[in-house]
Amino acid sequence: MCAHEWVDGEAGDDDAAAADASVIKDSVGNVLIDGDSVSIVKSLKVKGSSAIKIGTKVSGIRILETPVDGHDIEAKVPGFGQMRLKSSVVKKS
């Protein structure tokens, strides 16, 4: 008897899980894509500067292919410049 048996549906489940892992969602579950506008939902401390306040609008985000330290969005934040953000602290607007 061979222990390596083919089970119908297993390959499709793996592909679906991989596709779900590559989708970036905001703090409320909306799917984010390049060019979206988002707003900050949590005050963020920035080294060497003041904090980014709740409600700050950020437009033209870019989704990173490989997250850096959990930061999966790159954007130009008004008053702070180019920075990386986590998808868990933004909301699609």
Ordered by where they begin, the domains of the chain are 10-92 (2.30.30.40)
pTM: 0.73
Report the C-alpha gap between 50 and 60 in whole angstroms. Answer: 23
pLDDT, tens digit (0-9, with 9 covering 90-100), for 42-93: 999 988 888 999 999 999 999 999 999 999 999 999 989 999 999 999 999 8
**Residue whose C-alpha is closest to residue 56's, from 46, 66, 65, 70:** 46
